[in-house]
Amino acid sequence: MGCNVVIGTQWGDEGKAKMIDYYSREADIIVRYQGGANAGHTVVVNGVKHVFHLIPSGILHPGKKCVIGNGVVIDPVQLSEEMDFLIKEGHDVAGSLIISDAAHLILPYHKAMDEAMEDSRSDKIGTTKRGIGPAYSDKCARVGIRVGDLYDDAYLTERLTAAVAMKNQQMEKVYEKPSFQIEDIRDILTTFRSRVRDMVCNTPFYLNNALSEGKKVLLEGAQGNLLDIDHGTYPFVTSSNPSIGGALMGTGLNWSHINSVTGIAKAYVTRVGEGPFPTEDKTEGGTILRDRGGEYGATTGRPRRCGWFDAELLRHAKRINGLTSIALTKLDVLSGFDRIKVAVGYKLDGRKIDYFPSALHHRLKPIYEEREGWKEDITGCRNFNELPENARKYVEYLEEIMDLKVSIISVGPDRNNTFTK
């Protein structure tokens, strides 16, 4: 049946988890394809809030298979905590969760190095300090430890001994921080190995077979297109590829399996941490967006920076990912504004450009148009025609300037506050 890919089109926090939860109703398998515990995917069901950092958001639907793909970096402690929470709530984790044997592991020294590196920088990146960057660095340097390595004691000992010796040198001599004991790390891995043994497999083989049997597969990205290490606002990016290329590399699937690519976008824009943000509103408007939208990081609790919808960012995401439609979230947060600003393009050093550049982001000046707002509370709307006229016009205007259909609209945090257009 093929795959639907769900990708964040902005700087993350677009509401991907809610949309994954929505699309999971029709999927057989949900796959997380990149990132790590720096993600905070939030799903609200009947007023109960669930935050997932590693486990795919479709886990709340009984009978679904949820896969952590080879492109994810896994913190064994964090994953165990998520599993415990779900089991306590009555979910069948053992029968639902599948873990790639090729996924790399985040170990204590990765988190310590992440913090030490950030603290030593004069130009802060705004990392979550969850060890994501150092784990991906080890993967590229070919010194990482993978889930499958846990099941060969001699090989694991060899890899772990070399890794800990190298990391201790760095921690002591470069950052003047305490060293790590191999026994402590081995204890973490031994406990994790026993717990997930029956969940581990070759996930590219599993997924390709499932597709050949006609299964419907949903691919879930973390972060967003503007945090992609190749296509985002470098260096203020994550250490992986949330874009469509990461979806393929992080699952072992190929382009012929992709049926559709849904981009998730807020009706405005947010960013957590440092980095350029052309449409950021540092006035009362941005504060209102933050307060109404509850814009605080699910992973770090940091207040998000808020601003106005940026159509050029969406066109950039459309080009990179081949988006087939948009799911528009948090439309309800705009209720109450008399006028709503939308960036339709940029000027770079006074000259209008019609693309999102790879650099010089701090010199971009947005070109705004304004739309009439609406006063009505729209959280009770359950179809497009129930929206106020100006809310409908706003959505249709975004479709026009993006040249992309809005397929899904969210008007509140709960699962039920979502409808098709």
Residues of 13-46 as b/e, b for ≥16 C-beta within 10 angstroms?
Answer: bbbbbbbbbbbbeebbbbbbbbbbbbbbbbbbee
| pLDDT tens-place string over residues 66-102 | 999 999 999 999 999 999 999 998 989 999 999 999 9
Six-digit token pair at 10? 């902005």
Strands 364-372 and 339-348: antiparallel
Q: Which residues of the chain have pLDDT under 70?
A: 1, 122, 124, 126, 298-299
pLDDT for res 296: 87
CATH H-level, domain 265-420: superfamily: Adenylosuccinate Synthetase, subunit A, domain 3 (3.90.170.10)
pLDDT for res 160: 95
Q: Spell out where 252-312 has E strands.
A: 258-266, 269-271, 305-307, 309-310
CATH code for 104-195? 1.10.300.10
pLDDT for res 298: 65
| pLDDT tens-place string over residues 179-215 | 899 999 999 999 999 999 999 999 999 999 999 999 9
Strands 406-410 and 418-420: antiparallel
Would you list the domain boundaries of the chain?
Answer: 2-103+200-261, 104-195, 265-420
pLDDT for res 10: 97
DSSP 145-208: -BGGGGG-HHHHHHHHHHHHHHHHHIIIIIS------HHHHHHHHHHHHHHHGGGEE-HHHHHH
pLDDT for res 84: 95
Spatial CB neighbours of 299, under 8 Å, sequence gap ≥ 6: 37, 38, 39, 40, 53, 128, 130
Strand partners, 410: 418
State how far the Cα of 100 lies from the Cα of 102, in Å rounded to an integer: 5
pLDDT for res 126: 67
The CATH classification of domain 2-103+200-261, taken from the options 3.40.1350.10, 3.40.50.2000, 3.30.365.10, 3.40.440.10: 3.40.440.10
The pTM assigned to this predicted structure is 0.93
pLDDT for res 171: 85
- Residues with a catalytic annotation lie at 13, 41
pLDDT for res 124: 67
pLDDT for res 119: 74
State how far the Cα of 174 lies from the Cα of 165, in Å rounded to an integer: 14
pLDDT for res 327: 97
Spatial CB neighbours of 336, under 8 Å, sequence gap ≥ 6: 288, 292, 373, 375
| pLDDT tens-place string over residues 319-369 | 999 999 999 999 999 999 999 999 999 999 999 999 999 998 999 999 999
Spatial CB neighbours of 15, under 8 Å, sequence gap ≥ 6: 264, 266, 327, 329, 330, 410
